Amino acid sequence: MLTRTGMDRPGTGPKSQPRWPSLLRRVGHSGIVDRVVMFGCAGSGKTTLARKLCARTGLTLVERDSLGVLGSESYCAAITKLICQPRWVLDGAPYYVEDLVYPVADTVVVLDYPKPVVMWRVLRRTLAVEVLRQRVGAHQPQGLAAWRDGEHPVRWAWSSYRDRHVEGLALMSRGDLAHAEIIRFRRPAAARRWLRQLLLEDHHVVGL
């Protein structure tokens, strides 16, 4: 379930909804990084990394929080439309439609940073949102009183960290991801190196 602040509820994630086998058969794979799912705790930087990847590779960014309430009819319709596209990055776990998204994803990026790193990132972003009074993704200015709310970005990142960590590790053994490359980053620097290497390899292909 998605809360009003656009963050995942704690736990291992909701179960997937029915499969769409005929739709999946119409979607092919290129064998390279074309269909990417970003996974990680709230505040880990999924959307930021997704934006950088899209800006440098031409992939289409799809912000999950903009698709409506998780599991809703509009959300499922948007995901169905998404997987028919050849190249995209989804900046969050595909809850309720895992059986639809994971079989066509060729890359899953797991941001499994240490808790202090995540907390520093979400705190820095929240302070910037409050000071500048500008919305950043699903996060918008809420005032000091909102910090008492358990669903506040900073408090939510703290309380949901362990669940997302466990869920991220479980992705490694999922049968519906056996075909995909699952990349787990423990440090932001490693994610940045991967992005640079990905671009370098892409340039080599073009040079051929």
Residue from 104, 107, 136, 99 nearest 36 by CA? 107
- Percent of the chain at pLDDT > 90 equals 50
Name the pLDDT band for 10 (thresholds 50, 70, 90): very low
Q: Could you give the CA distance from residue 142 to residue 130 in angstroms, rounded to a whole number?
A: 7
Pairwise pLDDT comparison (112 vs 154), residue with the higher score: 112
Residue from 109, 128, 129 nearest 44 by CA? 109
Q: Do 84 and 77 meet the contact criterion of CB atoms below 8 Å apart?
A: no
- Cβ neighbour number for residue 99 with a 10 Å cutoff: 17
Least confident of 5-19, 140-154, 177-191: 5-19
Residue from 37, 35, 44 nearest 7 by CA? 44
Pairwise pLDDT comparison (154 vs 22), residue with the higher score: 154
Pairwise pLDDT comparison (124 vs 27), residue with the higher score: 124
Write the pLDDT tens digit of every residue in 125-135: 777 665 555 55
DSSP string, 128-173: HHHHHT--BTTB----GGGGGSTTSHHHHHHHHHHHHHHHHHHGGG
Residue from 31, 82, 80 nearest 61 by CA? 82
Average of per-residue pLDDT across 157-186: 92
Number of residues that make up the chain: 208
Q: Could you give the CA distance from residue 158 to residue 107 in angstroms, rounded to a whole number?
A: 27
Name the pLDDT band for 168 (thresholds 50, 70, 90): very high
Structure tokens at 25: 């058969």
- φ, ψ of residue 170 to 5 degrees: the values are -65, -25
Pairwise pLDDT comparison (105 vs 138), residue with the higher score: 105
Residue 37's beta-bridge partner residues? 90, 108
* Look-up of token digits 């990026």: 109
Evaluate if residue 15 carries a pLDDT over 70.
no
Q: Do 32 and 106 meet the contact criterion of CB atoms below 8 Å apart?
A: yes
Write the pLDDT tens digit of every residue in 61-112: 999 989 999 999 999 999 999 999 999 999 999 999 999 999 999 999 999 9
